[in-house]
């Protein structure tokens, strides 16, 4: 299946550098805040209130976090469903980033639950309300986390030399890979459906009604590709490896056309719903809407030519802007464009922010530790400078 010259190998090297130490400290701070939160409750740590029961722990950690973790999904879709084998070396690192992104997104839900000790109710037949979107999201994300650990387990099995298990798993892996494509398609669209239910509480710029699931799914797949470009570029420069631009250029082309389709859909939706007028009002919502749209439109211009997509710099900037755009789409929908009534407002507390920062730090730290010790990144010559 895999090209043997590109067979993944552990990077090696020390796990202790000033950078990893910083990440560790940030993660530890988040840990301390979370212990405090679990003992003294949400009110002691967050700025959440009755009007804003969801803050950045849901809007960023879960909704954006899981979208950023769509690299594994997008690559699996491309490689296994559309049978584009040339991207295979990108699958495993993408999967690793997704693995932690999703696991932490799933765990973050527990941080945000007021009565967190009841979290298992949603999985328990008598308690679960099977007609709710939230149920779909919760069960789907949990199932995907399990599926992803199984999908990624060959990396561990290879390292531990468990060849028998690896061979047996290989026979079943197609099933989990299929699930690994199905499940995110379901819940990434359902994350958009959550906003459908909010109805008029969402600003018209983001209340696309029944198109919301489509918009969220499209951007999730697009973000998946953007994250793969972002993360491949970062690990190449960070670990001083050769840039993977030759593989990323054709990937960027797929991403580009997806982006073009998305921008067209988004604008047409706004026009047909008659919501575009609100974008010209002097409101915070309109301000953030334009920034969000700029993040999508700028890459649409800068990555238009094949030549531009061959440039590692432009690719990286385009990917970063798309990630920012996808993040803003979600933050705007869930927080900026959320209008729950006169007088209510929300801005995350420092402690809330530090938990989110700590989670991101933990994700990066885990990624570094695993690629150094387990076969994830394709074996390649060191960068020629």
Give the total of residues touching another protein (CB under 8 A): 28
- 3-state DSSP assignment of residue 146: helix
Q: Count how many Cα atoms sit within 13 Å of the Cα of residue 182 in the half-sphere of its side chain.
A: 10
The binder of another protein chosen from 11, 27, 42, 52 (CB under 8 A): 52
Check: CB of residue 139 under 8 Å from CB of residue 109.
no
- 3-state DSSP assignment of residue 35: helix
Enumerate residues 6+ apart whose C-beta is below 8 A from 144: 102, 179, 180, 183, 184, 187
Q: How far is the CB of 60 from another protein (least distance, A)?
A: 11
Comparing CB distances to another protein, the nearer of 139 and 320 is 320
Q: How far is the CB of 285 from another protein (least distance, A)?
A: 17
Tokens of 261: 């389709």
Comparing CB distances to another protein, the nearer of 167 and 237 is 237
- The secondary structure of residue 62, as a DSSP letter, is I
353 contacts another protein (rule: CB under 8 A)? yes
Q: How far is the CB of 344 from another protein (least distance, A)?
A: 5
List the x/- string, 299-338, binding to another protein by CB under 8 A: ------------xxxx-xx--x------------------
Check: CB of residue 346 under 8 Å from CB of residue 57.
no
Q: How far is the CB of 170 from another protein (least distance, A)?
A: 37
Separation CA 127–CA 298 (nearest Å): 47
Q: Which of 239, 223, 241 minimizes the C-alpha distance to 330?
A: 223
The binder of another protein chosen from 352, 365, 368, 378 (CB under 8 A): 352
Enumerate the β-bridge partners of residue 378.
Answer: 8
Q: How far is the CB of 202 from another protein (least distance, A)?
A: 18
By CB under 8 A, which span of 106-114, 178-186, 273-281, 342-350 interacts with another protein? 342-350
354 contacts another protein (rule: CB under 8 A)? yes
Comparing CB distances to another protein, the nearer of 31 and 53 is 53
Comparing CB distances to another protein, the nearer of 155 and 322 is 322
Largest distance between two CA atoms of the chain: 64
- Asked whether the CA dihedral 267, 273, 277, 283 is positive or negative, the reply is negative
49 contacts another protein (rule: CB under 8 A)? yes
By CB under 8 A, which span of 47-55, 129-137, 263-271, 291-299 interacts with another protein? 47-55
The binder of another protein chosen from 153, 302, 349, 373 (CB under 8 A): 349
The binder of another protein chosen from 23, 45, 47, 69 (CB under 8 A): 47
Tokens of 92: 């495993």
164 contacts another protein (rule: CB under 8 A)? no
Q: Which of 258, 321, 247 minimizes the C-alpha distance to 93?
A: 247
Exposure b/e, 81-93, CB count within 10 A at least 16 = b: eeeeeebbbbbbb
Separation CA 331–CA 68 (nearest Å): 13
The binder of another protein chosen from 106, 348, 358, 378 (CB under 8 A): 348
Comparing CB distances to another protein, the nearer of 106 and 348 is 348
The binder of another protein chosen from 44, 237, 305, 369 (CB under 8 A): 237
161: left (phi over 0), alpha (psi -120 to 50) or beta: left
Q: How far is the CB of 336 from another protein (least distance, A)?
A: 14
Q: Which of 195, 214, 314, 308 minimizes the C-alpha distance to 264?
A: 214
Positions in 206-235 near another protein (CB under 8 A): 233-234
Check: CB of residue 242 under 8 Å from CB of residue 380.
yes
Comparing CB distances to another protein, the nearer of 126 and 343 is 343
Comparing CB distances to another protein, the nearer of 102 and 338 is 338
Q: How far is the CB of 171 from another protein (least distance, A)?
A: 42
Check: CB of residue 328 under 8 Å from CB of residue 376.
no
Which residues would be at the binding site for another protein (CB under 8 A)? 47, 49-52, 233-234, 237, 243, 311-314, 316-317, 320, 343-350, 352-354, 357
């Amino acid at each position: 299946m895999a090209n043997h010259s590109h067979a993944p190998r552990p990077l090696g090297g020390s796990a202790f550098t000033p950078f990893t130490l910083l990440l560790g400290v940030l993660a530890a701070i988040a840990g301390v805040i979370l212990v405090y939160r679990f003992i003294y409750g949400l009110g002691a740590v967050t700025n959440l209130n009755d009007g804003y029961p969801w803050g950045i722990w849901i809007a960023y950690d879960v909704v954006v976090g899981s979208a950023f973790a769509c690299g594994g999904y997008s690559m699996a879709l491309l490689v296994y469903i559309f049978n584009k084998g040339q991207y295979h070396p990108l699958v495993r690192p993408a999967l690793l980033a997704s693995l932690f992104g999703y696991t932490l997104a799933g765990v973050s839900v527990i941080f945000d639950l007021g009565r967190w000790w009841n979290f298992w109710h949603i999985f328990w037949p008598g308690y679960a309300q099977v007609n709710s979107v939230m149920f779909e999201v919760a069960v789907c994300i949990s199932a995907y986390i399990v599926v992803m650990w199984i999908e990624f387990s060959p990396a561990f099995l290879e390292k531990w030399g468990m060849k028998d298990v690896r061979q047996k798993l290989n026979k079943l892996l197609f099933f989990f890979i299929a699930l690994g494509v199905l499940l995110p398609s379901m819940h990434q669209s359902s994350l958009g459906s959550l906003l459908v239910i909010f109805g008029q509480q969402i600003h018209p710029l983001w209340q696309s009604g029944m198109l919301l699931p489509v918009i969220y799914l499209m951007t999730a797949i697009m973000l998946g590709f953007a994250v793969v470009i972002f993360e491949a570029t970062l690990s190449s420069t960070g670990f001083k490896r050769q840039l993977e631009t030759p593989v990323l250029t054709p990937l960027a082309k797929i991403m580009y056309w997806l982006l073009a389709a998305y921008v067209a859909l988004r604008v047409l939706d706004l026009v047909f719903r008659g919501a575009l007028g609100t974008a010209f009002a002097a409101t915070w919502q309109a301000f953030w809407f334009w920034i969000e749209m700029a993040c999508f439109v700028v890459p649409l211009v800068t990555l238009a030519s094949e030549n531009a997509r061959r440039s590692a710099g432009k690719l990286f900037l385009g990917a970063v802007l798309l990630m920012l755009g996808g993040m803003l789409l979600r933050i705007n929908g869930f927080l900026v464009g959320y209008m729950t009534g006169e007088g209510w407002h929300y801005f995350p507390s420092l402690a809330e922010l530090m938990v989110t920062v700590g989670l991101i730090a933990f994700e990066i730290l885990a990624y570094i530790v695993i690629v150094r010790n387990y076969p994830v990144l394709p074996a390649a010559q060191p960068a020629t400078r």
